[in-house]
Amino acid sequence: MNSAAPSAQHVDYALPDLYHATVLLVDDQAFVSDAVRRAFMHQKDIDYHYCANPQESLSLCATLNPTVILLDLVMPGISGIELLQRFRATPTTKETPIVVLSSREEAGTKSEAFAYGANDYLVKLPDAVELRARVRYHSKAHLNRLHREEAFRALRESQQQLVRKNAELYLVNQDYEKALARLRQLRRLVPVCGCCGKFRTDPAFRKMLDEAILEDPELLPVSGLCPDCQPGQLPAGPGNHSLP
């Protein structure tokens, strides 16, 4: 005998470990917390936390990093709308999904809540299955956004590293081209015949060497001086070069 399939309204769709939800309820009424706690009981993918003092909720958020905030609108000392504005003005909760839980059903109240940054609005106390479904939906969307931002930051850092490496490679290539040009210049000044291998002492080579040294005085130490031509041995003149 086949058992009847469960009704769709009683089916829960738990999130994978990647989308584990952390829920913070900000409400001064303890019975509301008890009801919400029961709704999340035995839900392995949802961690539930409660804050009865709205003035402490911002600091608690900085510690918990909730993926969803459930917020009451009517509380002592501060209104839910004002606290909603503070959440949206704080970097750590600026993008955190906020679901308003309120006994007010007026369209104007809902409109105001959405205008100040609420992501969802539920009249309390909502059905437990619906509450879990909405929490999971907003938590998954929030975590997906964080994952995208993290991937984008990693991609941007990789691109910046590539730009830096390309700049370094460009400088290395420039140094290489300069060194290669220098080597080619020096090869022309080697006093050896490229055909027979004999040392050249002919006037044509000497003239080429003199012109090269006049053009680039730094070549003088490279060409070398014999003991008779060290500084102070010969007067300056054509064909005679002294080290500075």
pLDDT tens-digit readout, 19-59: 788 999 999 999 999 999 999 998 888 999 999 999 999 99
- 68-72 and 21-26 as β-strands: parallel, antiparallel, unpaired? parallel
- Split at pLDDT 50, 70, 90, the class of 1 is very low
Residue 115 token pair? 């205008």
pLDDT in tens, 181-211: 777 766 666 666 667 766 667 777 777 777 7
What ranges do the domains of the chain cover? 13-143, 189-244
Q: Using alpha carbons, select from 70, 84, 9, 21 the residue that is nearest to residue 47.
A: 21
pTM over 0.75: no
Q: Is the pLDDT of residue 221 over 60?
A: no
Burial code of 159-193, b = ≥16 C-beta within 10 A, e = fewer?
A: eeeeeeeeeeeeeeeeeeeeeeeeeeeeeeeeeee
- Sequence-distant (6+) residues with CB within 8 A of 84 are 71, 98, 100, 113, 116, 117, 118
State the pLDDT at residue 154.
66
pLDDT above 60 for 236: no
And the tokens for 148?
């995208």
Among the listed residues 174, 180, 188, the one whose alpha carbon sits nearest the alpha carbon of residue 222: 188
Q: Is residue 144 pLDDT above 60, yes or no?
A: yes
CATH superfamily, region 13-143: Response regulator (3.40.50.2300)
